[in-house]
Structure 1
Amino acid sequence: MISSLLYVPGNAPRFLEKAGQRGADVVIIDLEDAVPENAKSEARDGLAKWVPEIKKGGCQVYVRVNQSDRLLDDAIAAVTANADALYIPKVSSVDSLVHLAEGLSGHEADRHPIGFVPLIEDMKGLLDVRTIAHGPRVFALTSGGEDLATAMGAKPTPEVLRYPKLMIHYAAKEAGLLSFGLLRTTVDFADKAAIRAAALEARDFGFDGATCIHPSVVPILNECFAPTAEEVEWARKVVSASRQEAAAGRGAFMLDGQFVDAPIVTRAENLLRRSEKGRAAT
């Protein structure tokens, strides 16, 4: 269960040294947008130190790599440091994932192949997102709202980005992947009420978690994307009642005045599995 993913600049030791203590499910060491051009090589070299250091806190570590001529070198450094996954920006076709997987194959002899999280950030990627979702090593999808809006010549408002984000989300769910993101991004991390509302909305739509750039947002995401105690109690009642009704030869039934059939039972079972994964992670 991955509810919170905290971005940390790869060239900022004062943030990196505490990143594993922030309570995030995943720390994303960013080698791309957060790192100036003249510090990118140093940030990449720092993965050997920071990935294992951050993982001591019990979270996973992903690395957001650069595209173009830095992509493979960044990815190899992440593999060598034993990162859990790559956050890959500006993925516009599945071919780039195939080539990257091939380029990494000779560097992973002693470990499980590193996973991929493509960021969909342009129109070609958006329109090819279903193919990308079925690419090699892909286990999750997410969007890059600012880049998507720029590619459209639009402003990055919730109204502009809602449909593109949902397209990416639907592609993830069709492929059985995790889906990370918020439908209405809140840039003001001090506005806790707005962040909470955005996270709850995203969870209602089936998103699994979201990224953030400030540690104060992490507990909000962890809380909002996790099943509540009331939801877990409801799910247990539904599953228990379903078993009893099935034993009596009934597939649909009434429970507390509500009609329950197979899709609702499946939803309850999924919620319980998510709850169990959350407990196991802690």
Structure 2
Amino acid sequence: MKLRSLLYVPANAERFVAKAHERGADAVILDLEDAVEEGSKDAARAALAAAVPHVGQGGAKVYVRVNTGPRMGADARAALAAGAHGIMLPKAETAASIDALLAELGAADDGTADILAIIEDAAGVLDARQVAAHPRVVALALGAEDFATSTGGQPIPEVLRLPKLMVHYAAKAEGKLSLGLLRSVADFNDAEGLAAAAAEAARFGFDGASCIHPKVVSVLNTAFSPSEAALTRARRIVEAAEKAAAQGTGAFMLDGEFVDLPVLNRAKAVLAKAGATA
């Protein structure tokens, strides 16, 4: 599954919903939580019936970020009834948080909906692998702004780097997707900085990231897709390895670079990722 770019859209913002399917994002997140003020939350939930199929008409996966607390169950049931691919669950601090969501869904859950877990406090960071291990969770991310607030910090790169990497490694340890940049995505006008941050996250092995403005979508799609140079290099490594294996050689030199099994496996992963994002 490819989730290079996930575009947040307030579910009750008709003008944003109207064009969300044209933005090229791998996923659209219809938000019922932070982007919707309290007095509009019921209307935003009711809007899902039309908004979910509309934003997904271009092929993007559609997720709904639900509220936690008393609204969670009704939000999640409305999301699935509208045809959403899954639920983005904020404040997913333990595996019990996931179980609580599933219990609220009850008979509305047929077992196929994805859950994207957002960790937003220190306890969640320390228990992130437990969350990642839940069989219904497909991806993890750190909610930078809420995490900084909950820990009394500032959402600046040096504060966010360690907790984001901890959540990233927890996801990878359980074979799940890891989403995010090693900074906040709130400053969407910093195009150069976002591009550099996305490229950095891709080097660390993150699979994609969310954004709150459509102009960031192409930045994320580019950063989290293998470049032509990387694909060419990967193909050459795989081809050379096949020839070496036919001669009974497991490790060899290619263009001055030592190639052994880990290097070969990375090359195969690049090609597999290109297939997933084609």
TM-score range, shorter chain: over 0.9
Give matches, 1:35-114, under 5 Å. Answer: 35-109=36-110, 113-114=112-113
Tell me which residue corresponds to 2:141: 142
Give SS of 1:20's match: helix
Tell me which residue corresponds to 1:252: 251
Is this contact kept in 2: 1:186–1:194, CA < 8 A?
no
Is this contact kept in 2: 1:94–1:135, CA < 8 A?
yes
TM-score w.r.t. the length of structure 2 is 0.97
CA drift at 1:185? 2.4
How many angstroms apart in 1 are the aligned matches of 2:37 and 2:11? 10
Is this contact kept in 2: 1:185–1:198, CA < 8 A?
no
Is this contact kept in 2: 1:97–1:136, CA < 8 A?
no
How many angstroms apart in 1 are the aligned matches of 2:97 and 2:189? 37
Deviation per CA, 1:157-177, whole angstroms, max 9, x where unpaired? Answer: 111111000000000000001
Give SS of 1:168's match: helix
How many angstroms apart in 2 are the aligned matches of 1:255 and 1:132? 41
Is this contact kept in 2: 1:227–1:274, CA < 8 A?
yes
CA drift at 1:60? 0.7
How many angstroms apart in 2 are the aligned matches of 1:170 and 1:245? 33
Deviation per CA, 1:42-79, whole angstroms, max 9, x where unpaired? Answer: 11111110101111111111110000011111111111
Give SS of 2:22's match: coil
Give matches, 1:162-201, under 5 Å. Answer: 162-201=161-200
Give SS of 1:130's match: helix
Give matches, 1:14-29, under 5 Å. Answer: 14-29=15-30
Higher mean Cα deviation, 162-171 or 117-126? 117-126
CA drift at 1:96? 1.8
CA drift at 1:119? 0.5
Give SS of 2:262's match: helix
Runs of 4+ more than 3 Å apart: none
Q: CA RMSD in A?
A: 1.1
How many angstroms apart in 2 are the aligned matches of 1:128 and 1:191? 32
Give SS of 1:162's match: helix
TM-score w.r.t. the length of structure 1 is 0.96
CA drift at 1:178? 0.5
Deviation per CA, 1:26-49, whole angstroms, max 9, x where unpaired? Answer: 000000000000110111111110
Is this contact kept in 1: 2:90–2:119, CA < 8 A?
yes
Give SS of 2:277's match: helix
Is this contact kept in 2: 1:251–1:262, CA < 8 A?
yes
Q: Which amino acid aligns with 2:74?
A: D
Tell me which residue corresponds to 2:32: 31
How many angstroms apart in 2 are the aligned matches of 1:123 and 1:224? 29
Q: Which amino acid aligns with 2:42?
A: S
Q: Which amino acid aligns with 1:18?
A: K
Q: Does 1:9 align with 2:10?
A: yes
How many angstroms apart in 1 are the aligned matches of 2:132 and 2:87? 15
Is this contact kept in 2: 1:9–1:15, CA < 8 A?
yes
Deviation per CA, 1:200-245, whole angstroms, max 9, x where unpaired? Answer: 0110110011111111111111111110001000000111111111
CA drift at 1:105? 4.2
- Structure 1 unaligned segments of length 5 or more: list them: none
How many angstroms apart in 2 are the aligned matches of 1:87 and 1:38? 21
Give SS of 2:55's match: helix
How many angstroms apart in 1 are the aligned matches of 2:177 and 2:193? 23
Aligned residues, how many?
277
Q: Does 1:157 align with 2:170?
A: no
Give SS of 2:186's match: coil
How many angstroms apart in 1 are the aligned matches of 2:157 and 2:39? 34
Percent identity (aligned): 50
